[in-house]
Structure 1
Amino acid sequence: MDGIINVDKSSGMTSFDVVRKVKKILKMRKVGHTGTLDPLATGILVICTGRATKLAQSIEGEAKTYVAGFELGYKTTTYDIEGEVVDRSDVLVTREEVEGILEKFRGEIDQVPPMYSALKVDGKRLYELAREGVEIERKSRRVTIDKLELVNFDGRKGTLLCEVSKGTYIRSLIYDIGEELKTFGVMTSLRRTQVGGYDLSTAYTIDEMERMAEAGDMSFHKGVEESFQYPEIELTGEKNIKLFNNGNTVVYRKADGKYRVYSEGKFLGLATIVRNRLKGYKYYNV
């Protein structure tokens, strides 16, 4: 089945580990994830299977929500607790000072990705260069911080609630906050609680999926039609249906947006309408 699985990733697993285990559970080869989570991180990792892997890029582009633990006073190579400590600071910071600094990071900001990241430069991932002791200049990129709230803070350790755009590194965000506070900041934990319309209320751990699969229950694997609760539209005419199935544009007078497309009750796929032009959503159809 082509579909979507909302996985609650455990700490210590890589995103590839999750994909590998899902392949084994489903006995499928075509499986992909929609946005890397570091091994330290837990939470939502949306998995696409079969032809639904064509939707991975679209899901990855959705806004994301994180709950991040941090600690001030020291710096590591990776900006999180898994890196080597390279510097320390005795600067003391109040809760009011932290909350005052957060305002600088709300909205659109320029962020420099960390060296320990999966971004590629000349065909090589940054973390591979970092492990070789090589540090290169990284271009900043524009990201959006829709929400940034201090949940708690005891003078050294705290928790942030962050709603961010695609491509935002929470490790770098905490590092930059530390810099603004004239000290250092390190990420101590990270849990992704939402990706677009997917949240923890409908997520399954790998252990849960393995037990369900052993019992013959594959309900954690949702079909595309069920996974995307867009409004429904009916497509008529043999020519229009053929155009849609082939990834071509169809004239359709409807408000701009995303839709589930049907013909005589049969689900054809997902589509977007822009200025009365309907097209298969990211070229996905069934």
Structure 2
Amino acid sequence: MDGILNICKPAGLTSHDLLEQVRKISGIRKSGHAGTLDPFASGVMIVLSGEARKASRLFIGLDKEYRALICLGALSDTLDSTGRIEPTNALQPTESKISQVVKSFKGDYRHLVPDYSAKKIDGKKFYEIKREGGTPPQRIQESEIYEIEIEKIDYPLLEIRVRCSSGTYIRALARDIGGNLSTGAYLKELSRISVGSFYLKNSVIPEDYKKGYTPLGEALKSFPNITLNSSAASRLKHGIGFSENDILEKNGNISTGVFPAYSEGGELIALVEKENDNFRARRVFNL
């Protein structure tokens, strides 16, 4: 089974533990995931089975959408509900002020990476450094928030929906919203409702993994891709590159980055990358 599993992660389970559940139930030992979710969070987790692991960088880079429940008027040392919570006794802002501040985060978002995060330095995750009594270095993360909408205000609770680029820390967003409101805030609940074209409404529990399966060739069609003539397709199977003249069809922008190449018959062959006027194989699939 070489493809994508759209699995629903419940709150309270680590991404690693969920992946082990999928491996045990499905018998697919060669599998990985395209981005973790914090243990307290729930929602879409993309599991890559078999040859799909070779395309992990594409799926990790997909846009995400979240529904977040933020608690204003309090702080958490982990920026979420698992940490030590301390009230700030701040004055309650008006709903108009809350709306104004939330909407101001749409666009480019430069934020400080949380100390309790899976960000790595010298092979060690930030949260590991923190739990050992150390202080992780300050790192600025750059991302983009495409949409941010208020779903409900019931102070001190604020529910928002966010569609953003990969690499956005929603715990940091909660912290920064609270900071701009001068109330403090932490992330109380988080649900990831989509990763690219994979939606929570279509995600399944590990026991139903077959129902959440998309073959790799089909899943990669959502990315910019090309179709090659038979001669180039045959060479590419052996890792040999090709030229622009070998391309029969282009779908999307293929001028930068890595993208899938298919045969004229629709067979997925490899991930390729443009190099000057030619194209080279980055990862060849064995399907």
| Coarse TM-score class (shorter-chain normalised) | 0.7 to 0.9
Q: 2: CA distance between counterparts of 1:34 and 1:161?
A: 21
Alignment pair present for 1:176 and 2:176: yes
Letter of the aligned partner of 1:236 in structure 2? N
Bigger mean CA deviation after superposition, 41-50 or 22-31: 22-31
Gap regions ≥5 residues in structure 2: none
Q: Structure 1 length as normaliser, TM-score?
A: 0.87
Residue correspondence of structure 1 range 96-245 to structure 2 within 5 A:
96-209=96-209, 218-230=210-222, 234-243=227-236, 245=238
The 3-state SS of whatever aligns with 2:263 is strand
Q: 2: CA distance between counterparts of 1:171 and 1:266?
A: 42
**Cα offset for 1:85?**
1.8
Letter of the aligned partner of 2:71 in structure 1? E
**Cα offset for 1:26?**
2.1
The 3-state SS of whatever aligns with 2:138 is coil
Report the count of equivalent residues.
276
**Cα offset for 1:227?**
2.5
The 3-state SS of whatever aligns with 1:228 is helix
**Cα offset for 1:229?**
3.6
**1:110 and 1:142 in contact (8 A); partners too:** yes
**Cα offset for 1:188?**
0.8
The 3-state SS of whatever aligns with 2:267 is strand
1:213 matched to which residue of 2? none
Letter of the aligned partner of 1:262 in structure 2? S
2:269 matched to which residue of 1? 269
CA distance 1:247–1:25, change in 2 (3 Å): farther
CA distance 1:232–1:110, change in 2 (3 Å): closer
Residue correspondence of structure 1 range 38-57 to structure 2 within 5 A:
38-57=38-57
Letter of the aligned partner of 1:16 in structure 2? H
**Aligned alpha-carbon RMSD (Å):** 2.5
CA distance 1:272–1:89, change in 2 (3 Å): farther
**2:67 and 2:191 in contact (8 A); partners too:** yes
**1:44 and 1:193 in contact (8 A); partners too:** yes
Q: 2: CA distance between counterparts of 1:16 and 1:59?
A: 17
**1:271 and 1:278 in contact (8 A); partners too:** no
**2:228 and 2:248 in contact (8 A); partners too:** no
Bigger mean CA deviation after superposition, 118-127 or 1-10: 118-127
Letter of the aligned partner of 2:263 in structure 1? Y
**2:90 and 2:182 in contact (8 A); partners too:** no
Q: 2: CA distance between counterparts of 1:166 and 1:7?
A: 18
CA distance 1:232–1:134, change in 2 (3 Å): closer
Kindly, what percent of the aligned residue pairs are identical?
29
**1:55 and 1:284 in contact (8 A); partners too:** no
Gap regions ≥5 residues in structure 1: 210-217
1:33 matched to which residue of 2? 33
Q: Structure 2 length as normaliser, TM-score?
A: 0.86
Letter of the aligned partner of 1:238 in structure 2? S
CA distance 1:284–1:178, change in 2 (3 Å): farther
Q: 2: CA distance between counterparts of 1:160 and 1:3?
A: 32
Residue correspondence of structure 1 range 1-80 to structure 2 within 5 A:
1-80=1-80
